[in-house]
């Protein structure tokens, strides 16, 4: 006899109150959710009726043949099954009735291309740090005036195309602000959410450049080329984050060409810095260090202290991974000296991420790799204590580094616990670029897989890899 709807919902509510379902939600494991409900008598047909998702697709989720990643799928489950606010938060979704829900399509931000461009431009023009709540407020205002602003911007672009010999100062300023804004948004939004808007922004700059006469003395054109280069290095980083190495290489190559035409070698140095993460993630630390060394050689003296601090810190990190303690300490001294005079808000747009917390995360990684474990753990405790709750990306990096330090030190259970916590934080960011860091940890911990803490981490990593795939 079929259960009535009230009885079905009662069972669902009871199941979601349990620890097993809470853990499945934190892993964003839809297949596990379906299996747990099935053990309590809730059929796939009933789930399909409630969520609007085809029963065949639910079967694929259950068996792991298909792993959902779209926010709309998680929203359909959460809304259809009437999940509690706690369960929704565990899935990375906004609570029902949240005042901001109507203003965002994915993780609190718009996905409309033009709205993303306007948001990036508004953030870039502010010239100061923007918190997530402030960003949502700005999004609401932008959404209310999109039509009027869109008309104004396209009028300016049309004028620039009609009179290609004289680029408008206003249009160039908007492109510069938007490029800076996208670099800031990258710290607050998942890669997939902003890539479309960033690509459209680069296309607009290309249209403007195609319509402008090639004159080396034209300062406005040079500034526009710089904005294109700054945008392309970010697009390359995001494409790499999304797993498309070929697309990333194309963007990096384009950024380098733009940099050479504008005589701005700092952009080339940035591209090398971003590129270094690719071989590093594959364990090729020698290649990563070579790229970083080339970047530091290219960077003009005193041109960008923030870039020097970042590249030298990365060089120290990779030197530590190679076991070159002397070179690691030498590079770290260079990084510290540059960071002491750096002002990210007055530096290049890609240095905006490098505040004291992020810089200290490089210190933790470097110290861990060269055996200064007590110093690494001391810095790590200080950083995590002052990190905001929403800063999952930094927390993931730091926790991974601390886990590595504990593994080296022989504290296996502590290493596994921190690795699992770091992996959870990394998954919350929607980014896949940090997965290799935790795969390396898994290789080191696998010999102790009979321990519950290690086994739990390895199971979570397997789930994460299926979702990324």
Residue at 274 is within a domain: no
Pair (350, 373) in one structural domain: no
**Statement: residue 273 has pLDDT above 90:** yes
Out of 304, 332, 354, pick the residue that ends a domain: 354
% of the chain residues with pLDDT over 70: 79
Residue at 270 is within a domain: no
The interaxial angle of helices 30-39 and 71-80, nearest 10 deg, is 20
Pair (257, 368) in one structural domain: no
Strand, coil or helix: what is 109? strand
Return the pLDDT at 204: 86
Number of H helices, E strands in the chain: 24, 0
**Statement: residue 445 has pLDDT above 60:** yes
Return the pLDDT at 109: 41
Return the pLDDT at 379: 87
CA distances from 199 to 113, 166, 228, 232 (A): 9, 25, 11, 9
* C-alpha dihedral sign at 335, 337, 338, 344: positive
* C-alpha dihedral sign at 177, 180, 184, 186: positive
Out of 306, 337, 354, pick the residue that ends a domain: 354
Pair (117, 215) in one structural domain: yes
Q: Supply the CATH number for residue 9's domain.
A: 1.10.260
Residue at 279 is within a domain: no
Which H or E run contains 291? helix 285-298
Pair (76, 109) in one structural domain: no
Residue at 276 is within a domain: no
What's the whole-number mean pLDDT along residues 107-125?
57
Pair (177, 72) in one structural domain: no
Pair (180, 229) in one structural domain: yes
**Statement: residue 303 has pLDDT above 80:** yes
pLDDT-derived band at 448, boundaries 50, 70, 90 = very high
- The rounded mean pLDDT for the chain is 79
Most confident of the following: 79-83, 108-112, 249-253, 312-316: 312-316
Pair (111, 249) in one structural domain: yes
* Residue whose token pair is 């949502």: 136
* Residue whose token pair is 């290799």: 436
Most confident of the following: 130-134, 355-359, 452-456: 452-456
Residue at 413 is within a domain: yes
Residue at 374 is within a domain: yes
pLDDT tens across 223-272, in order? Answer: 999 999 999 999 999 888 777 888 888 999 999 999 999 999 999 999 99
pLDDT tens across 407-424, in order? Answer: 877 889 988 988 998 888
pLDDT-derived band at 151, boundaries 50, 70, 90 = very low
Identify which has the larger pLDDT, 122 or 42. Answer: 42
Pair (196, 123) in one structural domain: yes
Task: Please tell me what DSSP assigns to residue 163.
Answer: S
pLDDT tens across 176-211, in order? Answer: 988 988 888 887 776 677 888 888 889 888 888 887
Return the pLDDT at 450: 92
Identify which has the larger pLDDT, 63 or 3. Answer: 63
Residue at 280 is within a domain: no
Return the pLDDT at 123: 66
Pair (120, 230) in one structural domain: yes
Name the residue range of residue 398's domain: 360-469
pLDDT-derived band at 142, boundaries 50, 70, 90 = very low
Pair (118, 201) in one structural domain: yes
What's the whole-number mean pLDDT along residues 306-322?
95
Return the pLDDT at 96: 58
Q: How many domains does the chain have?
A: 4
Task: Lowest mean pLDDT of 149-153, 174-178, 302-306, name the range.
Answer: 149-153
pLDDT-derived band at 459, boundaries 50, 70, 90 = very high
Pair (432, 467) in one structural domain: yes
Question: What's the pTM value of the predicted model, to 2 decimals?
Answer: 0.60
Q: Give CA–CA dist 312/377, Å, rounded.
A: 21
Q: Give CA–CA dist 365/333, Å, rounded.
A: 15
155 CB neighbour count, 10 Å cutoff: 10
Pair (148, 82) in one structural domain: no
**Statement: residue 162 has pLDDT above 50:** no
pLDDT-derived band at 107, boundaries 50, 70, 90 = very low
Six-digit token pair at 375?
């110093």
Return the pLDDT at 131: 54
CA 468 to chain CA mean position, Å: 14
pLDDT tens across 75-100, in order? Answer: 888 888 888 888 888 887 766 544 33
* Residue whose token pair is 């779209």: 70
Residue at 256 is within a domain: yes
């Amino acid at each position: 006899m079929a259960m009535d709807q009230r009885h079905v919902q009662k069972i669902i509510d009871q199941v979601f109150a349990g620890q097993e379902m809470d853990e499945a939600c934190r892993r964003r494991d839809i297949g596990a959710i379906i299996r747990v409900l099935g053990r309590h008598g809730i059929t796939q047909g009933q789930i399909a009726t409630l969520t609007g998702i085809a029963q065949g697709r639910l079967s694929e989720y259950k068996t792991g043949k298909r792993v959902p990643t779209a926010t709309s799928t998680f929203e359909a489950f959460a809304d259809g099954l009437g999940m509690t606010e706690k369960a929704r938060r565990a899935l990375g979704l906004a609570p029902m009735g949240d005042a901001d829900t109507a203003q965002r399509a994915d993780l609190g931000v718009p996905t409309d291309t033009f709205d993303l461009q306007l948001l990036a431009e508004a953030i870039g023009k502010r010239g100061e740090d923007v918190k997530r709540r402030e960003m949502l407020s700005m999004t609401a205002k932008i959404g209310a005036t999109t039509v009027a602003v869109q008309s104004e911007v396209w009028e300016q672009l049309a004028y620039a195309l009609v009179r290609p010999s004289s680029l408008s100062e206003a249009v160039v300023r908007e492109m510069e602000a938007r490029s800076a804004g996208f670099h800031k948004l990258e710290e607050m939004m998942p890669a997939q959410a902003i890539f479309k808007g960033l690509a459209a922004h680069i296309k607009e700059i290309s249209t403007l450049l195609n319509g402008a006469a090639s004159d080396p003395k034209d300062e406005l054109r040079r500034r526009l080329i710089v904005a294109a280069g700054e945008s392309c290095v970010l697009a390359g980083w995001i494409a790499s984050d999304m797993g498309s190495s070929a697309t990333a290489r194309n963007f990096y190559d384009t950024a380098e060409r733009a940099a050479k035409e504008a005589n701005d070698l700092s952009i080339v140095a940035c591209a090398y810095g971003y590129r270094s993460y690719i071989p590093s993630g594959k364990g090729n630390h020698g290649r990563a260090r070579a790229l970083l060394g080339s970047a530091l050689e290219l960077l003009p003296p005193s041109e960008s202290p923030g870039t020097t601090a970042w590249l030298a810190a990365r060089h120290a990190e990779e030197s530590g991974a190679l076991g070159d303690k002397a070179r690691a300490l030498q590079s770290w001294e260079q990084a510290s000296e540059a960071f002491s005079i750096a002002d990210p808000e007055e530096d290049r747009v890609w240095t905006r991420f490098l505040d004291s917390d992020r810089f200290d995360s490089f210190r933790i990684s470097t110290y861990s790799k060269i055996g200064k474990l007590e110093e690494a753990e001391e810095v790590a405790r200080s950083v995590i204590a002052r990190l905001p709750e929403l800063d999952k990306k930094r927390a993931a990096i730091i926790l991974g580094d601390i886990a590595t330090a504990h593994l080296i030190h022989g504290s296996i259970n502590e290493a596994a616990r921190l690795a699992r916590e770091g992996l959870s934080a990394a998954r919350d960011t929607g980014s896949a670029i940090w997965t290799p860091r935790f795969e390396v940890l898994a290789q080191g911990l696998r010999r102790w897989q009979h321990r519950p803490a290690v086994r739990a981490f390895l199971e979570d990593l397997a789930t994460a890899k299926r979702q990324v795939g």
